[in-house]
Amino acid sequence: MDTTDAKPLESMDLWEEDLLERYPEPEHVFRDYKAEVRPSVKEFYRLNHTHQTNEFVRAKKKLYGALAKAEMSVWEAMEFLNTLVDDSDPDTDATQIEHLMQTSESIRQDGHPRWFVLTGLLHDLGKVLCLFGEPQWAVVGDTFPTGCKYSDKIVFSEFFSGNPDCEKPEFQTEAGVYEPGCGFEKVDLSYGHDEYLYRVVKDYLPKEALYMIRYHSFYPWHREGAYDHLASAEDRENLKWVKEFNKYDLYSKVDERPNVEALRPYYEELIAEYFPAKIRW
């Protein structure tokens, strides 16, 4: 891998700002997304779509699925993620912990259950993959199924022409290597912070929370309605939770900065309600 190409985004948050451009709040006027997209975001997706092969995904699932990288408490993982230094201005940009709390605090303000608030706090912790040396294109960005035909609903789908999987005839059908209706559990989505964190927390949180965490970047499905032919009845049933979560993920990051130290006791108690003191990462 060419490591000089590994970091096109000046800040990891740029990918999420870009989502706001693509999926503005309904009352905002429609804008021509492609005309305004940042060159660094475009380059990010070129790398992502070129290198996320089915083989790559399976290898990363195996590597990180072993949970052999670290033993940390949830709060320690939040502090670890906070050490992620982007090239953007640290004085004006919210820290990673502040981002997480902006999401969880808006969920809390709407009176949702405690597990939902906790999910807001946790949902991006898988970005510690960057601190384990993974390039941006293997950590963030919209996710999509590998091992079958790419949907044209995937952002910048034209960049898949550079993906070696395009040469494999068995990957070119609608279902590809999968059985129609098999469920996303059996599908190798492009690798990133969603799948990794799902693996870390799967024994501790309710199923709805796991859906939110595992599929929150799967925009081709939860926003564009693509890949329904691979979904199971259970996936369809839980889509509403993924959509409900997405509102907070997308639109809560422009609010004022939360007071992390003041909120810490509340969140430490919430974490302790669901997690042991240390978990495997």
Q: Does 235 bind Fe ion (CB under 5 A)?
A: no
Q: 3-state DSSP call for residue 43?
A: helix
Which residue lies nearer to Fe ion by CB, 124 or 195?
124
Residue 65: other Cβ atoms inside 10 A: 13
> Cα(103)–Cα(255) distance, rounded to whole angstroms?
9
Stretch that binds Fe ion, among 21-29, 55-63, 116-124, 236-244 (CB under 5 A): 116-124
Stretch that binds Fe ion, among 52-60, 72-80, 122-130, 142-150 (CB under 5 A): 122-130
x/- contact string, 32-51, with Fe ion (CB under 5 A)? --------------------
Stretch that binds Fe ion, among 46-54, 107-115, 117-125, 166-174 (CB under 5 A): 117-125
Unique residue bearing structure tokens 């809390």: 108
Which residue lies nearer to Fe ion by CB, 124 or 165?
124
> Cα(106)–Cα(120) distance, rounded to whole angstroms?
9
Least distance (Å) between residue 252 CB and Fe ion:
12
CB 270 within 8 A of CB 117: yes
The CA-CA-CA angle for residues 150, 128, 119, to 5°, reads 80
Strands 71-72 and 279-280 come out as: antiparallel
> Cα(126)–Cα(39) distance, rounded to whole angstroms?
25
Least distance (Å) between residue 53 CB and Fe ion:
22
Least distance (Å) between residue 277 CB and Fe ion:
25
The CA-CA-CA angle for residues 61, 67, 70, to 5°, reads 135
Site for Fe ion in 175-204 (CB under 5 A): none
Which residue lies nearer to Fe ion by CB, 235 or 249?
249
Residue closest to Fe ion when measured from CB atoms: 124
Least distance (Å) between residue 242 CB and Fe ion:
12
CB 146 within 8 A of CB 210: no
Which residue lies nearer to Fe ion by CB, 124 or 235?
124
Which residue lies nearer to Fe ion by CB, 54 or 143?
143
Q: Which of 18, 98, 124, 188 binds Fe ion (CB under 5 A)?
A: 124
Which residue lies nearer to Fe ion by CB, 139 or 279?
139
Residue type, 268: E
CA atoms within 13 Å, Cβ hemisphere of 249: 27
Per CB under 5 A, residues contacting Fe ion are: 124
